[in-house]
Structure 1
């Protein structure tokens, strides 16, 4: 049920983003921290494939 709630929340955020009703605060982020958080959210049994452009923007 938690995953369904998260999905609904994410879809709601995405629709507000597309409508311009969601403010974005872009800032640099540590890729290791982001990927760790994603893997923690996914839980066991998932594989993450990350494809970055060459050269990777800094």
Structure 2
């Protein structure tokens, strides 16, 4: 998709978000795909301790 620049929701004291969507086809069950996506987030530096609704590297 295109990249959409949006204002943060909730806590406005942070940079704008860059949002986009991706459609994929795979043979994984939803929980298996979720685990793979969480591993990708972790490998890119996202930490579980980040503030909810706060800035993040990837989501």
Structures share a fold, TM > 0.5?
no
Q: TM-score, normalised by structure 1?
A: 0.32
Q: Name the structure with the higher strand share.
A: 2
Name which structure has the greater RCO, CA cutoff 8 Å, separation 6+: 2
Bigger CA radius of gyration: 1
Q: Name the structure with the higher helix share.
A: 1
Q: TM-score, normalised by structure 2?
A: 0.31
